[in-house]
Amino acid sequence: MNLPVGVQIDAPITPEFAQILTPEALMLVAKLHRAFEPRRRELLKKRIDRQSRIDAGEMPDFLPETKHIREGDWKIAPLPKALERRRVEITGPVEAKMIINGFNSGADSYMTDFEDSNSPKWENQIQGQINLYQAIRRQLSFRNEAGKEYTLNDQIATLQIRPRGWHLDEKHVLIDGQRVSGGIFDFALVFFHNAREQLARGAGPFYYLPKMESHLEARLWNDIFVMAQNETGIPQGSIKATVLIETILATFEMEEILYELREHSAGLNAGRWDYIFSCIKKFKRNKNFCLANRSAITMEVPFMRAYALALVKACHKRGAPAMGGMSALIPIKNDPVANEKALAGIRHDKTRDANDGFDGGWVAHPGLVSIAAEEFQKVLGDLPNQWGKQRDENFGPNNWLDFQPEQPITETGLRNNINVGIHYLGSWLAGNGCVPIHNLMEDAATAEIARSQVWQWVVSPKGILDDDRKVTANMVRAMIPEELTKVKATVSSQGEDTATYDQAAKIFADMSLADDYPEFLTLPLYEAME
């Protein structure tokens, strides 16, 4: 390949991959990298500095320097018709079958994911780009091992694309000897090849932006959008992006984040699983902080409920969509009683979101689309959304930092975290980033909760089981091989290879018992990945 000056790719480039990795597309990647990589690194350093202050006892609060934004009279730019109705959004990785199922699911919107539900192997990232290129042009098809063919139908969901977060690199691509941001790489390629086609079809280019911790990180994305539109001749404001509020720090800057992206904003989403992970991560050294079993941290515990309602308030105040998060429940085959319980849980989740004022919510499986749609229909009727519904409560640090419940912490909960962590990591190393485990759809966010809770229960004086035993490193070390055996048995019974699970167990032990808490599970995993 004739690569642009300064661009190096240390990975295989097949003839099919070369259709995505064109010199012109890589020139956009390189231009965005050179313009914005220094700011990305500066913002990542700000994260580290702030974490040090929080570890030393500082607690987050509203920013005094942005008070004028919170008190100002402004709205986001008008949204295109394709984003007016988003009652049900379905998500999944950039795999061909998953893309087809997402498009054909009957959902209003489909968020395809280069991030948490995708294992970032080189082949996954570039084949995902190829899949999206074909899907946007209605050319994508897939045939499974049994010969069944999957094709796109005529009723296609509105596509939204999630690139990787600011903390992730694309290790296979170097610009001037420096790794490129995974988020810039994912965005630039998919935008370069597809934005004009999406505009012509009246539905795009639309994105979901993950893991941000401040309005300055949103400003970086906005400036990237402006440059990308200028470089490609796409009209300014064509890009619309929904920000996942999935960090505790971003909660204090929701209006500021909307403001920074106001010409490109498509609202906010309550990303509950990463949000729980973020709370654990940020206050891991706080001796007064300790959350109960993951199963006890529902959207109805006070700190989670306050965060969700505040998101609705911030969005509707600014004329923006407020999107509910993902329930991890999925349909359960061959067990009617358990399946009915799972479907009732989904219905309850979406009923609450609709009544709270959310304009839509996420599901993880096509079989759940109709249930979610029914619950939003009951509340919205003929309206496409409820942007006009205003909330008048006041929320702030007293609500968002009141972390309850602290109990129960049980041996079952501890073992579940170990089991889910090993199972997910093993699948991720094998190239699968979205895994059904114990009748829940798990992705990187839930694996992060699992290993973070284990780490915190060991460190915290409040990490005490309901039978009065303190969670210790030795206790966890003894349970890991026991849970590994269970995971291997489960995986083998499903006809899958167990080759990656010993490594997964070692990584889980290293990450959950390290003296210094590793910031992200996926960072060392990615380095270990071929």
**Active-site annotation, residues:** 162, 443
Structure tokens belonging to residue 83: 């984003």
Residue 226, classified by CB atoms within 10 Å of its CB into exposed (0-12), middle (13-18) or buried (19+), is: middle
Residue 89 · residue 161 · CB < 8 Å: no
Q: Report the distance separating Cα 86 and Cα 238, nearest Å.
A: 18
Q: SS3 of 367, please?
A: helix
Q: Report the distance separating Cα 40 and Cα 501, nearest Å.
A: 34
> Which residues are bridge partners to 244 per DSSP?
269
Residues 6+ apart with CB under 8 A from 95: 118, 124, 128, 131
Q: How many of the other CB atoms lie within 10 Å of CB of 333?
A: 9
Q: Report the distance separating Cα 54 and Cα 50, nearest Å.
A: 6
Residues 6+ apart with CB under 8 A from 441: 328, 329, 330, 364, 365, 434, 435
Structure tokens belonging to residue 509: 């032990």
Locate the DSSP E strands across 246-310: 265-270
H/E/C letters for each residue in 219-263?
A: HHHHHHHHHHHHHHCCCCCCCEEEEEECCHHHHCCHHHHHHHCCC
